[in-house]
Amino acid sequence: MTQETVAPTSDAVLDREETISRDELEALQLSRLQHTVAYAYDRVPLYKRKFDEHGVHPTDLRELSDLGKFPFTTKEDLRLEYPFGMFAVPQHEVARIHASSGTTGRATVVGYTKKDLADWAKLVARSLRASGVRPGMKVHNAYGYGLFTGGLGAHGGAEALGCTVIPISGGQTERQITLIQDFKPDAILATPTYLLTIADAMMKQGIDPASTSLKYAVLGAEPWTEEMRHELEVTMNIKACDIYGLSEVMGPGVAGEAVETQDGSHIWEDHFRPEIIDAFDPSVVLDDGAHGELVFTSLTKEALPIIRYRTKDLTRLLPGTARPAHRRMGRITGRSDDMIILRGVNLFPSQIEEIALRIPELSPHFQLELTRPEGQRMDQLTVRIERRESVTVEGVASAAKVLQQQIKIHVGSSCAVDVVEPGSLERSNGKLRRIYDMRPKA
Ligand code: DLL
C-alpha cells in the first residue's frame, strides 16, 4: 500500500461555535448557564443545599456576572458525595464513569451520559484539529487508559475527528518505540514528560527522535513550559501543542491550543464558563489578564453539572486569537497545592524547568527534594538534575553554579544543585512527580 499524504493544516472545517462572535457566544453562555444552575439545583441535593445556605436561587442568574453570587464547588465536595452523590441523572443514564485517585483520601468519581460522551469527543476532536491533527491521520495515543480520563478521552476525540487511533496507553516504552517505527503515526498524544521519556529511550537505542514519522504532539495533563516545548519540538522535529482539562470538569479537551499561533489553549467557552478568582480571597473575581485560580462552570453537562469548580490551577485569561470568541488561558504556572513554600518564598517546579532548560549543559530531567536537616529549623531545597550526555565534568560544575544563581535571582530562593548522571533519575510514565518532600510531617 502506498503512503497517503495528509492534507495541510490550513484547510480545517471548524465547528460553527468556533467561529461565532463574542456577543453570540456570550448569549449562548447565558442561556446555557441559566439552564445549568436550575438543572443542578433541581437534581443534585448538594447544590440545592449550598445555594439555599448561600441565599441564592437559580432565578438570580440574570446576566453572566451574576455567576459570582453562586457558591463554589471543591474537590472536597466530590469526595464527600462519594461515589455518586453529585450525579444529576439516574444511574442507568450514566454511560461511563471515570475517577481520579488523588494522593490523599477518597477518589473523586465523575459520570457521563451518552450525550456528555459525544460532547466530550467533539471537544477533544476540536482541540486535536486546532493542534494540527486531521481526519485520516494515524494517532498514537500514549495517555493512560482506564479510570484516568486521558486515554479514553483522547481516544474518543481522535476517533470522532476521523483519525486512525493506535490505543497504546502509557508505559512499555520500548514497545511504543517499535510501534512508532512500524505504524508510522502522524501525531502522538502524551504527557510532555512521557514524550520526553520516549525521545530519551529512542536516543538510547540509537534512533534519532527527529527521524520518525511524527509531525504533531498534543500534550497535557501536567504543567509544562515554553522551554519544554522547544526541547521537544527540536528533539523530535514536531509541532507540540497544549491540551488542558480535568476530570471534574470533563477530562482533556476543556481547552486546546492552535498550531498556527501556539499561544496558549483556547477554552471552549460554548461548553464551559471560566472565571479567575483571587486564590487567597475567593470572593474576588479578577479581570482578564490577572493571575489567579481558574474556576469552571459547565454549560452543557448532563450527568455531572459542575458549578464554579475551583481547579486550584493558577493561570490567567487572555483574549482569543486563532478562535477569537474563545478566551485563552495562559500557561499553568502550577497548582496552588503544588506550591513549595521555602523559607517564605513561593516556588513551582515549572519555574525550575524554565530556568534549567535555558542552561545548555543541563537536561530536562530533574527532581526537587525538600528536606529539613537534623537540628535545623530551615528547609532545604535540592535540585537534582541530569547533565546532558555531551557535557564534561568541568562543564557540569559551572552549569550547577549558574542554575543556583539563576534560581536565586528569578525565584528568590537559595538551593543546592546536584548534577547527576544521565539516566539516573526516574522517568515519567504519565504525570511526572517532580517534588519529593522528605521534611518531617508536622
Ligand atoms: O489530566 C485530563 C487531561 C488528560 C488533560 C490528558 C490533558 C490531557 P486530571 O487527572 O483530573 O485530568 O488532572 C487535572 O492536571 O487540574 C491540572 O493541574 C493538570 N493539567 C491538565 N492539563 C494540563 C495542561 C487530566 N495542559 C489536572 N497544563 C489539572 C498544565 C494541566 N496542567
pTM of the model: 0.96
C-alpha–C-alpha distance, residues 294 and 245, integer Å: 11
Buried residues in 85-116 as b, exposed as e (16+ CB within 10 A): ebbbbeeebbebbbbbeeeeeebbbbbbbeeb
pLDDT at position 105: 74
CB atoms within 10 A of CB 182: 8
pLDDT at position 102: 64
Tell how far the Cα of 83 is from the centroid of ligand 1, in angstroms.
21
CA dihedral over 44, 50, 56, 62, signed as positive or negative: negative
CB atoms within 10 A of CB 3: 7
Query: Which amino acid does the sequence have at 158?
Result: A
pLDDT at position 12: 87
For cell 471552549, name the residue. 268
Residue whose Cα lies nearest atom 30 of ligand 1: it is 223
The DSSP string of 366-426 is EEEEEE--TT--S-EEEEEEEEPTT--HHHHHHHHHHHHHHHHHHT----EEEEE-TT-SP
**C-alpha to C-alpha distances, 369 to 62, 243, 345, 379, nearest whole angstrom:** 50, 28, 16, 10
406 C-beta closer than 6 A to ligand 1: no
Residue whose Cα lies nearest atom 16 of ligand 1: it is 246
At residue 11's C-alpha, the angle toward residues 9 and 15, to 5°, is 105
CB atoms within 10 A of CB 180: 22
pLDDT at position 340: 92
Tell how far the Cα of 56 is from the centroid of ligand 1, in angstroms.
31
In a 13 Å sphere around the CA of 115, the CA atoms on its Cβ side amount to: 9
195 C-beta closer than 6 A to ligand 1: no
315 C-beta closer than 6 A to ligand 1: no
Tell how far the Cα of 223 is from the centroid of ligand 1, in angstroms.
8
Atom of ligand 1 nearest to the CA of 220: 26
Residue whose Cα lies nearest atom 28 of ligand 1: it is 223
181 C-beta closer than 6 A to ligand 1: no
150 C-beta closer than 6 A to ligand 1: yes
Please say whether the beta carbons of 138 and 164 come within 8 A. Answer: yes
Distance in angstroms between the alpha carbons of the first and the last residue of the chain = 64
Tell how far the Cα of 267 is from the centroid of ligand 1, in angstroms.
13
Q: Taking the mean position of all CA atoms in its chain, how far away is CA 442?
A: 31
What single DSSP character describes residue 82? Answer: T
- In testing the pocket of ligand 1, which one of 155, 222, 311, 329 has its CB within 8 Å of the most ligand atoms? 222
Q: Grid coordinates standing for 306?
A: 459542575
Tell how far the Cα of 257 is from the centroid of ligand 1, in angstroms.
14
242 C-beta closer than 6 A to ligand 1: yes
C-alpha–C-alpha distance, residues 294 and 288, integer Å: 11
348 C-beta closer than 6 A to ligand 1: no
What tens-digit pLDDT sequence spans the chain (442 residues)? 444 444 444 678 999 999 999 999 999 999 999 999 999 999 999 999 999 999 999 999 999 999 999 999 999 999 999 999 999 999 999 999 999 876 567 889 999 999 999 999 999 999 999 999 999 999 999 999 999 999 999 999 999 999 999 999 999 999 999 999 999 999 999 999 999 999 999 999 999 999 999 999 999 999 999 999 999 999 999 999 999 999 999 999 999 999 999 999 999 999 999 999 999 999 999 999 999 999 999 999 999 999 999 999 999 999 999 999 999 999 999 998 889 999 889 999 999 999 999 999 999 999 999 999 888 888 999 999 999 999 988 889 999 999 999 999 999 999 999 999 999 999 999 999 999 999 988 6
Tell how far the Cα of 188 is from the centroid of ligand 1, in angstroms.
17
Tell how far the Cα of 244 is from the centroid of ligand 1, in angstroms.
6
C-alpha–C-alpha distance, residues 442 and 440, integer Å: 6
pLDDT at position 435: 95
